[in-house]
């Protein structure tokens, strides 16, 4: 049968675009459908604008630190509207770059929602196209928790377009998105209260990393209300009132001037895709795939956040390129989910790769040995601040292999990216010890821990 396309992609986010371009490089005729701006969550409502706001949030402390080095005091105020404008201008510039890349790859773009009519037919508005193979790469969306008055809260999607800076903000959720935005807003001068159901933020990360960040956030003025069981939001003349109740029935009301931010997780965008017209199966909303990203329908595939494996942009890109290599490049390969590094752009920054201490002890038991260091970096000595960096290696004593590396401190992401290569290659603690450190640097501590 003749099809309109060799590959048709639903969703022009990081994973979808990566797959489309790689497949086109191999000579496939490719089409892609997107109802929103190109680039998906990462470019438009995630990694890119968030990291730019992280940079913006660091300047007040940099101005302050400079005085310790002999610079005169700087009196500066944030123009929130300008910051939002320049951040969104950069997003628009990147949208144009994605458009150019797809055009150069001769990928045909369809504006609108893609929906399955059958396993080989997609409807986009009043158009229908057929394809031999179809990729679902529709990403995810923020969850609005079942809380009384949740309609008065914004999500992480809306934070980038607030017309005015909130003076007081309540952040609901202790995951990495909520914690990052708590730090960003605090750095920009907003008074922040973070409400979490657990005892410590960042569930799923290494416990030392979680504790270090939470302690630092408190030192920087962020108030964290933990062990919260009930939450209710109410709109009034003063803004938004958030009432919380703790595990001992203690009750407290926090007033935010305009909004509260709900950042309690994300779900796959798998509704209204017409999946009922195919054999594609889902579990808790996520599309079920095998190691080759293939669904139960042999010609339909899925990558990225809609599969809810590891929801990171580089993972979606790697999954997509592996799929294109397999289907069109004659180079079958699968995505490895072991030792994937990740960062948390809080203040202080954190990054991690490999197993947490708890995961390692569960798998390797008493063979696990932990090396840990905590110190004040040289930068902060003249600035007169008691900021700390924490580094940690988790090692299997039977093989001497490093199972995990964790860091909290300035440039953690940049440092852990290099450490991740070593761990991915199976480096041992002896390999770390034999490596000469760069002095003076924080990174050298990773090769001097005893």
Which are the contacts of 317, defined by CB distance < 8 A and separation ≥ 6? 14, 15, 18
d(CA 263, CA 155): 6
pLDDT for residue 260 = 80
The domains of the chain are located at: 5-142+267-328, 150-264, 342-447
Which are the contacts of 381, defined by CB distance < 8 A and separation ≥ 6? none
* Size of the chain in residues: 450
pLDDT for residue 88 = 96
pLDDT for residue 314 = 97
Asked whether the domain spanning 342-447 has the same topology as the one spanning 5-142+267-328, the reply is no
Q: Residue 348: which region, alpha, beta or left (left: phi > 0; alpha: psi -120 to 50)? A: beta
d(CA 11, CA 15): 8
d(CA 244, CA 246): 7
pTM of the model: 0.96
pLDDT for residue 258 = 63
Residue 439 designated active-site? yes
d(CA 406, CA 415): 10
Q: Residue 362: which region, alpha, beta or left (left: phi > 0; alpha: psi -120 to 50)? A: alpha
Which two tokens mark 96?
Answer: 């144009």
CATH architecture of 150-264: 3-Layer(bba) Sandwich (3.50)
Angle at 230 between CA 226 and CA 234, to 5 degrees: 110
Question: Which listed CATH number (3.50.50.60, 3.30.70.100, 3.40.50.720, 3.30.450.40) goes with 5-142+267-328?
Answer: 3.50.50.60
Which are the contacts of 102, defined by CB distance < 8 A and separation ≥ 6? 12, 17, 20, 21, 32, 38, 109
pLDDT for residue 257 = 82
**pLDDT averages per 10-residue partition of the chain, 450 residues:** 96 98 98 97 96 98 98 97 97 97 98 98 98 98 92 92 94 95 98 96 98 98 95 89 88 84 91 98 98 98 97 98 98 97 98 98 98 98 97 98 98 98 98 98 98
Say which of 141, 220, 283, 439 is annotated catalytic: 439
Q: Residue 253: which region, alpha, beta or left (left: phi > 0; alpha: psi -120 to 50)? A: beta
Question: Which listed CATH number (3.30.390.30, 3.30.360.10, 3.30.70.270, 3.40.50.720) goes with 342-447?
Answer: 3.30.390.30
């Amino acid at each position: 049968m003749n099809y309109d396309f060799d590959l048709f992609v639903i969703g022009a986010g990081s994973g979808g675009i990566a797959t489309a371009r790689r497949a086109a490089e191999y000579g496939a005729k490719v089409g892609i459908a997107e109802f929103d701006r190109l680039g998906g969550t990462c470019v438009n409502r995630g990694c890119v604008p968030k990291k730019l706001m992280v940079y913006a949030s660091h300047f007040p402390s940099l101005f302050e630190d400079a005085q310790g080095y002999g610079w005169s005091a700087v009196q500066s105020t944030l123009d929130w509207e300008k910051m939002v404008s320049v951040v969104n201008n950069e997003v628009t510039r990147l949208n144009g770059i994605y458009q150019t890349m797809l055009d150069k790859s001769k990928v045909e773009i369809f504006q609108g929602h893609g929906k399955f009519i059958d396993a080989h037919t997609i409807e986009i508005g009043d158009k229908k196209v057929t394809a031999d193979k179809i990729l679902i790469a529709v990403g995810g969306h923020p969850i609005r928790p079942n809380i009384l008055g949740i309609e008065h809260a914004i999500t992480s999607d809306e934070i980038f377009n607030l017309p005015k800076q909130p003076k007081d903000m309540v952040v609901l959720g202790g995951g990495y998105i909520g914690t990052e935005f708590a730090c960003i807003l605090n750095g920009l001068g907003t008074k922040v209260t973070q409400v979490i159901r657990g005892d410590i933020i960042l569930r799923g990360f290494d416990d030392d990393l979680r504790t270090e960040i939470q302690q630092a956030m408190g030192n920087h003025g962020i108030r964290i209300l933990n062990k919260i069981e009930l939450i209710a939001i109410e709109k009034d003349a003063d803004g938004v009132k958030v009432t919380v109740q703790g595990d001992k029935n203690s009750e407290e009301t926090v007033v935010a001037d305009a909004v509260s931010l709900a950042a309690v997780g994300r779900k796959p965008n798998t509704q209204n895709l017409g999946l009922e017209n195919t054999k594609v199966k889902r579990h808790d909303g996520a599309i079920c795939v095998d190691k080759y990203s293939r669904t139960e329908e042999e010609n339909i595939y899925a990558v990225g956040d809609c599969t809810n494996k590891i929801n990171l942009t580089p993972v979606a890109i790697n999954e997509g390129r592996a799929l294109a290599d397999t289907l069109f490049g004659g180079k079958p390969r699968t995505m490895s989910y072991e030792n994937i590094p990740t960062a948390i752009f809080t203040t202080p920054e954190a990054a991690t790769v490999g197993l947490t201490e708890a995961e390692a002890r569960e798998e390797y038991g008493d063979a696990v040995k932990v090396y840990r260091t905590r110190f004040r970096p040289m930068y902060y000595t003249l600035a007169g601040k008691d900021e700390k960096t924490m580094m940690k290696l988790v090692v299997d004593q039977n093989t001497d292999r490093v199972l995990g590396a964790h860091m909290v401190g300035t440039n953690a992401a940049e440092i852990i990216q290099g450490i991740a290569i070593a761990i991915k290659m199976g480096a041992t603690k002896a390999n770390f010890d034999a490596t000469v450190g760069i002095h003076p640097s924080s990174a050298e501590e990773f090769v001097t821990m005893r």
